[in-house]
Amino acid sequence: MQGNEACAEGALMAGARFFAGYPITPSSEIAELMAEKLPLAGGSFIQMEDEIASMAAVIGASLAGVKALTATSGPGFSLKQENLGYAAATEIPCVVVNVMRGGPSTGLPTSPAQADVMQARWGTHGDHPVIVLSPYSVQECFELAVKSFNFAEEFRVPVILLMDEVIGHLRERVELPDAVEVVDRKKPVVPPDKYYPYENDASMVPAMANFGDGYRHHVTGLIHDITGLPSGKPAVTEKLLGRLNHKLDRYLDRITLYEEVAVEDAELVVFAYGCTARSALEAVNAARGSGLKVGLFRPKTIWPFPVEQLEKLSGKTFLVPEMNCGQLVGEVERVVGRRQVHRLNRFDGELITPDEILLKIQEVMSGVQ
């Protein structure tokens, strides 16, 4: 099965019943499969006039109580940013799959890159919460698609499943479970006249009524109070932005997904995600085979950034291979110190090879000793 197909299967199993999109390489298979399968599952598929409208439709569907997603690639992801910010501000759960290709602009339509990593975090304006997950196998496309919906529903945030052309188009064996753990958004337990759509309890996440269920539910991208109506008051602004930007803090342990390979005694840790992590794993194994103390840290959750997990490894030397001109490496430097971090960047549209990483490992380690 292909990564894009596995992503679609995961979304369906997580309960997605609405897809709006505008097909774009290398994500189109997701739309294709959704168009085929959603109607059979009682859901809806709409090909919209563009990516902006697709994102708006996804938000509308989610407000009406339906789990919704869209899938795109770089150029479309740029267009979705405005409404992505709207979803973050209004706390509407939704999933955006971005199968990264080479950019900027139309770039390299059929070639891989990892150049939307910062855009996924900061592409829309203003301080806002977002969760970004990065799968490195077809199996993980499925698993993280499920997680994306569960996180979106539980925390009422947009979740971006950040894939890349290699993983999206990769075919390998997967094992799909018969059932998965599915999380649904919290619904109000109070009668309609007692409901405030943005009143939160200790969970920091307000209960969400379906639009049209009889609950007064005002939704605006303007700064709003607990009624959902606009307010420009400093106290209201501070309270809303404070809550929005810190609501994930208490859940970081659960949100931060990662894998470590042989890091314990490692002198050098390769930090890699997505397609690059496959090459990195092979390079790390080869390095270990030749007696070098090398490990791999592979974040599956890249935003929020795994600060605490990396802090535990500080003191070690890091190598960050990326298929861009250097993006997430800046975060690694921020956590473990710039002097500890080496970069390896490839941005010619070809997958970085294990040999390139191994060579860099050897080069860095000969300098370390």
Partner 1 sequence: MAKQQALLTGTGGQGLILAAIMLAEGAVSAGKNVVQTQSYGPEARGGASKAEVIISEETISYPKVMNPDLVLAMSPEAYKKYGLPLDEEAVLIVDSTFVQEVKPRSKNYFALPVTRLTKAEFGSEQSANVVALGVVGAVSGWLSYEDIRQGVLQRAPKGTAERNLAALELGWRLGLEAKAQAGVSGKAELQNAGKG
Name residues whose C-beta falls within 8 Å of residue 7's C-beta, 6 or more positions apart in sequence.
30, 71, 97, 135, 141, 142, 145, 161, 163, 168
Site residues (CB under 8 A) for partner 1, limited to 271-300: 275, 278-279, 281-282, 285
Distance, CA of 182 to chain centre: 18
Question: From the CB of 170, what's the least distance to partner 1, in Å?
Answer: 5
Nearest CA to 285 among 195, 185, 234, 354? 354
Report the distance separating Cα 354 and Cα 290, nearest Å: 14
Question: From the CB of 340, what's the least distance to partner 1, in Å?
Answer: 25
Question: From the CB of 14, what's the least distance to partner 1, in Å?
Answer: 25
Name the residue nearer to partner 1 (CB basis): 251 or 258: 258
Q: Examine residue 364 and tell whether it contacts partner 1 (CB under 8 A).
A: no
* Total Cβ atoms within 10 A of residue 177: 10
Name the residue nearer to partner 1 (CB basis): 276 or 301: 276
Name residues whose C-beta falls within 8 Å of residue 243's C-beta, 6 or more positions apart in sequence.
200, 204
Q: How many CA atoms lie within 13 A of 337 on its CB side?
A: 9
Site residues (CB under 8 A) for partner 1, limited to 333-352: 351
| CA dihedral over 329, 80, 88, 45, signed as positive or negative | negative
Name residues whose C-beta falls within 8 Å of residue 287's C-beta, 6 or more positions apart in sequence.
294, 358, 361, 362
Q: Tokens 């290398």 map to which residue?
A: 26
Q: Examine residue 200 and tell whether it contacts partner 1 (CB under 8 A).
A: no
Report the distance separating Cα 141 and Cα 8, nearest Å: 9
Q: Examine residue 23 and tell whether it contacts partner 1 (CB under 8 A).
A: no
Question: From the CB of 278, what's the least distance to partner 1, in Å?
Answer: 5
Question: From the CB of 60, what's the least distance to partner 1, in Å?
Answer: 32
* Of positions 127, 172, 238, 308, contacts partner 1 by CB under 8 A: 172
Site residues (CB under 8 A) for partner 1, limited to 93-112: 109-111
Question: From the CB of 279, what's the least distance to partner 1, in Å?
Answer: 5
Name the residue nearer to partner 1 (CB basis): 35 or 226: 35
Q: Examine residue 170 and tell whether it contacts partner 1 (CB under 8 A).
A: yes
**Which residues of the chain form contacts with partner 1 (CB under 8 A)?**
25, 109-111, 166, 169-173, 275, 278-279, 281-282, 285, 351, 353-355
